[in-house]
Amino acid sequence: MVTVVQRWNIHPGIPWLRGIRPGSDVEYNEQLNAWFVYGYDAVFGIVNDPKTFSSRTAQLAAVTIDESFNEGDVSQLDPPEQTRYRKLISRAFTPKVVSGLQSRITQIADELLDAMRGKERIDLVAELAYPLPVIVIAELLGIPSTDRELFIAHSTRFIEQLNGLSFLDESAKEDIGYAVEGFQPMMDYMRDQLAERRRRPSEDLISGLAAAEQDGRRLTDNEIVNLSNLLLVAGHITTTMMIGNTVLCLDASPDQFARVREDRSLVPGALEESVRVLSPTAALSRRTTTEVEIAGVRVPEEQMLLPWLAAANRDPRRFADPDRFDAARDPNPHLGFGHGVHYCVGATLARVESRIAVNRLLDRFPKLYVDPNEPPEFFPNPDLIGVRSLPMRTG
């Protein structure tokens, strides 16, 4: 059996993607001055214990950025402060709200697929997997359609130039500074959008954040701008990779692809399995608030931890035949969307967007495959596992 990782040599420097387990569930990485955690039970315990394993890791980073970029960043907060922000954001992603978006998501998907009609070659990412979630999150935020290309360009560059590991490497300081500088126009744009909502509120997420009040306190402009940009970037990149990775996994497993085509009830399972096999967010960062034992290893206080979700999702002690893509895997308790207080607030929307996209794609193209002469391109970031370009043939 040739796995999807082997076929396309995804992240060649990561052995556990190839079924080679680390010697220990916890290893110290001297280059990054951080502890890597791989085992499922250990990672699960870390993400579910925010008191011992804090998300406030910026103070341990080798490279820091202006604090104004972190204000309102829920990924760098712990309860109860994190809970307050999360409540504000989650109002836009409740099951009821997401359910009400399904017809619009289907319409957008159909319009994108209409534009591919008659093509013998498509780029699944550029023509469907990327624009679909971008349009959806832009509409939720209230971003004018005429401005989408602006933030697509800025957010793409920001994602590709920054990754969680770069902040641990002092030699990356110049690259980080360049990425932050390049994202400044997006910050300025969001400030303009917020100013407009304060003058003329409407039924969108930015207006909702501007009007929100908890415990007698309203969010500052900087908090709203950072939250909006976080939603913009995080709100599309995971879904983009989820759609692209699922199709790539199916292409690498023709028997699975045939089953899913015939039985569409397997599509949700295929999506979950792709998140397990190719976890878009491969790693998180945490800080130990006290000396603690993790999988038999003593880790001192005030240490940087990198719990590798993608490695935990391939732990053979939790998943039978973990390197095999199985669209019917059940149960499938992967950690691809995190767990606990930081569980991805947009997971429900990502699942709905991806399910609709894959189903409509299969409806339109009875024949769909990756040409070996036009291999996919992957995000280079070590903490992202996903396609950024996926050329496919339709005939």
**pLDDT score, position 165:** 64
Task: Count the neighbouring beta carbons within 10 Å of the beta carbon of residue 298.
Answer: 9
- Tens-digit pLDDT string for the chain (395 aa): 789 999 999 999 999 999 999 999 999 999 888 999 999 999 999 999 999 999 999 888 755 666 666 777 888 889 998 998 888 888 888 899 999 999 999 999 999 999 999 999 999 999 999 999 989 998 999 988 778 777 666 666 666 656 556 556 565 566 666 667 767 888 888 999 999 999 999 999 999 999 987 777 888 999 899 888 888 877 788 999 999 999 999 999 999 999 999 999 999 999 999 999 999 999 999 999 999 999 999 999 999 999 999 999 999 999 999 999 999 999 999 999 999 999 999 999 999 999 999 999 999 999 999 999 999 999 988 889 999 999 999 98
Distance of CA 123 to the CA centre of its chain: 20
CA distances from 275 to 55, 92, 187, 227, 335 (A): 23, 23, 30, 25, 9
Phi-psi group of 220: left, alpha or beta (phi > 0 → left; psi -120 to 50 → alpha; rest → beta): beta
Dihedral, CA atoms, 76, 81, 84, 87, nearest 10 degrees? 40
**pLDDT score, position 156:** 66
Contact 278, 3 (CB under 8 A): no
Instruction: Let me know the angle formed at the C-alpha of 37 by 36 and 38, rounded to the nearest 5 degrees.
Output: 120
Residue type, 361: L
> Could you check whether the bond before residue 331 is cis, i.e. omega within 30 degrees of 0?
yes
Residue type, 364: R
Task: Count the neighbouring beta carbons within 10 Å of the beta carbon of residue 395.
Answer: 11
Contact 361, 125 (CB under 8 A): no
Sheet holding 304-307, edge to edge: 26-29, 34-37, 304-307, 286-288, 53-54
Residue type, 191: R
99 is written with which tokens? 């359910």
Distance of CA 121 to the CA centre of its chain: 27
List the one residue out of 139, 144, 133 whose CA is nearest residue 189.
144
**pLDDT score, position 166:** 56
**pLDDT score, position 89:** 86
**Predicted TM-score (pTM) above 0.85:** yes
**pLDDT score, position 71:** 77
